[in-house]
Homo-oligomer: A and B are copies of this chain.
């Protein structure tokens, strides 16, 4: 029967994206991996990290990240989405806060979701640090 499956069915890429960031915030590896396709061709790039390919490598990376002491919370901004029948790409700006809100950073993420027999699942997450001026360029000088 292979590995146990969750019953989670995401009926849209947006649902899968929400579950992805919720699992990230709650440091829940099983919930995180339930948002990914069980596929050897899934790709994950954490900011500054190497490219990880395949379900096991991706899962291990989340286990390591979630084993760390801190918690983070996300505000997802400026989503640009391109969606077709079977595949959807979402580009977002991630505003990331440490649990105690003392540290803040932003990252750029390209998230790709595929419609599988088990609903929409993530097949690619590519995140990289946003440069400090990105927000300023977008919003102009502070008022």
Contacts and interface: CB of A to CB of B under 8 A. Distances in A.
State the majority secondary structure of interface residues on A.
strand
* Identical copies of this chain, number: 2
Interface stretch (A26-34, A64-72, A97-105, A120-128): A120-128
- Interface range, A side: 35 or more
Contacts of A41: 80-82
Contacts of A86: 84-87
Contact of A108 (B78, B89, B112, B126): B126
Contacts of A45: 108, 110, 128
A134 interface: yes
Contacts of A128: 45, 47-48, 126, 128
Nearest to A92: B51
Interface of A: 41, 43, 45, 47-51, 53, 78, 80-82, 84-89, 91, 93, 108, 110, 112, 114, 123-124, 126, 128-131, 133-134, 137-138
A51 B91 CA distance: 9
B130 A50 contact: yes
A85 to B, nearest CB: 6
Nearest to A43: B91
Contacts of A131: 48-50
